[in-house]
Amino acid sequence: MSAPTLESPRTVPPDPRVLDGGERRRLARGGGEHLLLAVADQAAAELLTVTLELAGYRVAAADTGAGVARRLTERPYRLVVADMDLPGLAELEGAGAVAYRPAVLLLAGCDELPGLVPRLGAVERDCVTKPVRIAEVLARIQVLLRGTGVPEDTRPRAAALHYADLVLDDVTCRARRGGRVLDLTPAEYRLLRHLLVNARTVLSKERISRHVWGEFRGDNAIEQLVSRLRRKVDREGPALIHTRRGFGYRLGGTS
């Protein structure tokens, strides 16, 4: 059973004993929010726990599906970070009895989302592909937590986002153009959504990179990501994604 591998050495968290006051404040982004970490591999769990605690979160852990279900009945957690290789996922069926619905960040591929999210009854969810990068995990947790805090049954269902014949449904994490479903990776979905909600606005490479990955990436990372997304979105229709050379990218308008 594979563990949620972590990139090294950039993912090693800083030792809190060598941080100055300013660095501590920058790390303390979690504000004491309670997170549940569901990772079976002990080494990966320890590294993620230390990193999340340095970032200001209160972290509890479980290493089986049954342990997750039990933890969820003991106290409310704002978010569950769960590895899709966690043993005993079937045990999470019992989590449906809890009175709240935590957000879920999966350490997995998007094609595995249906395997866990329905069992937790979560509306807010996202996934990070393996090998996971600490900066991306922290960024996706922040985004997910901004969308929670209101009981799900009192929260209006998110409307699908539209532009021309392009539709994104944040509830199902699916995108389609016309009658064609787009098979997108998590990064491609985040990029397309960012372009769509800022339609007709030119977005710089740095802005896109920080939104998609939580940090700026060079070495043509954005160009490659945009190229892959274009091949899927614009394959059978007028181009929606355009390049403004020297400035960035936009969705909509003319090239």
Query: How far is 74 from 122, CA to CA, in rounded Å?
Result: 18
Output the pLDDT for position 36: 93
Q: Read off the pLDDT band of 15 (50, 70, 90).
A: very low
Tokens, residue 219: 């070495």
Examine the pLDDT at 157 and tell me if it is beyond 50: no
Tens digit of each residue's pLDDT (9 = 90 or more) over 180-195: 999 998 889 889 988 9
Tokens, residue 107: 């350490």
Q: Which residue has the higher pLDDT, 124 or 132?
A: 132
Partners of 107 in the β-ladder: 83, 128
Q: What values do phi and psi take at 143, rounded to 5?
A: -65, -45
Output the pLDDT for position 68: 85
Tens digit of each residue's pLDDT (9 = 90 or more) over 81-106: 988 888 886 556 544 545 567 888 88
Query: How far is 228 from 232, CA to CA, in rounded Å?
Result: 7
Query: How far is 142 from 184, CA to CA, in rounded Å?
Result: 22
Q: Read off the pLDDT band of 44 (50, 70, 90).
A: confident
For the chain, the domains span 16-154, 161-251
Examine the pLDDT at 22 and tell me if it is beyond 70: no
Output the pLDDT for position 192: 93
Examine the pLDDT at 1 and tell me if it is beyond 50: no
Q: Read off the pLDDT band of 228 (50, 70, 90).
A: very high
Query: Is the CB of residue 29 less than 8 Å from the CB of residue 55?
Result: yes
Query: How far is 62 from 72, CA to CA, in rounded Å?
Result: 10
Tens digit of each residue's pLDDT (9 = 90 or more) over 135-146: 888 888 888 887
What is the residue-wise DSSP string for 154-171?
GSPPPPPEEETTEEEETT
Q: Is 140 helix (H, G, I), strand (E, B) or coil?
A: helix
Largest CA distance in the chain: 56
Query: How far is 86 from 255, CA to CA, in rounded Å?
Result: 46
Share of the chain above pLDDT 70, in %: 71
Output the pLDDT for position 172: 73
Q: What is the CATH number of domain 161-251?
A: 1.10.10.10
Reported residue count of the chain is: 255
Domain 16-154, CATH homologous superfamily name and number: Response regulator (3.40.50.2300)
Two domains, one topology: 16-154 and 161-251: no
Q: Read off the pLDDT band of 204 (50, 70, 90).
A: very high
